Amino acid sequence: MAAHDALCARSWDTTAYNGRMWTAITRDVSPALAKCELSFVDRTPIDLARAQAQHAAYCRALESLGCEVIRLPADAHFPDSVFVEDVALAFDEVAIATRPGADSRREEGTKVLEQLGMVRPLRRIEAPGTLDGGDVLRIGKRVFVGRSARSNPEGHAQLQSLLAPWGYTVESVSIRDCLHLKSAVTQVAEDTVLIQPDWVDVTPFAAYRQLTVAPGEAHAANAVRMGQALLYPDCFPQTQARLQAAGIAVTTVDVSELQKAEGAVTCCSILLRRGEAA
Ligand code: GLY
């Protein structure tokens, strides 16, 4: 079996973790990616083969940072299905099916939830609630949720109820001019967020050191944090320099074709840490 096929076929409950502490659920790029939802990005031609190669490199980068990567097969019925982050949330104690806000994405999560259901009790956001995982940023026991076109107040309220038993607090955050909360802010170190202040109310993040994106790099606030590692797009060199000046080690990936589909690095994986609180 070719290495790629072996990776795709690997089941969640593999016993060969290779000593890795993290698991990422990913999904290969849909051949229908060009029909993706777009909200704040103009539609431009997407090179599918290049998008697939970039996604494969993204998966390899996660592996190089110490992550076991599960690659679910692509699905031509769901153009946005590479963006697994939106369909489910994974906490240490529970996984939550999100009920995405775009109709075209509502049924997208089945395969991802099958995986999560093997390792976490599964709860669901129910109609009329909607929630996209891209709107949910957990920092410790604080869960920030973007007030976006995709995530409605009912979805916020249901998430609060579902997470309350484990001591999480849910805080709604205003965003503007971007798709998701994590388009505008992500955690990049224990005490630090990377933030695009034009797109998000910074007040809820007052407890953290705030690094702002560099001028001319509007989309630069999205990064994947995995322990001490940070996976980051290679197209924001000035913001990358700010991260490095702040003492944060950065591993870069080229996700330019996925960005044309209004995707970002966090969108392409659901991360879980094995055995202990992340
Ligand atoms: N294309 C990403 C989304 O709109 O959900």
> How many A from CA of 7 to the centre of ligand 1?
26
Beta carbons within 8 Å of 101's beta carbon, 6+ residues apart: 130, 131, 132, 148, 149, 150, 151, 152, 155
Of 68 and 1, more confident: 68
Place of tokens 């080229």: 254
Would you tell me how many other CB atoms lie within 10 Å of the CB of residue 10? 14
168 pLDDT above the threshold of 90: yes
> How many A from CA of 130 to the centre of ligand 1?
14
3 pLDDT above the threshold of 80: no
Q: How far apart are CA 179 and CA 206, in angstroms?
A: 22
Residue closest via CA to ligand 1's atom 4 equals: 37
Active site residue 178: no
Looking at residue 273, its pLDDT comes to 86
pLDDT in tens, 10-39: 444 433 344 568 999 999 999 999 999 999
Q: What are the structural domains of the chain?
A: 2-273 (3.75.10.10)
Q: Please report how many Cα atoms fall inside a 13 Å half-sphere around the Cα of residue 263, on the Cβ side.
A: 29
For 242-271, what is the mean pLDDT?
98
pTM summary value: 0.93
9 pLDDT above the threshold of 70: no
Beta carbons within 8 Å of 193's beta carbon, 6+ residues apart: 139, 185, 186, 187, 205, 208, 209, 210, 211
Active site residue 4: no
275 pLDDT tier (thresholds 50, 70, 90): low
* Closest ligand 1 atom number to CA of residue 261: 1
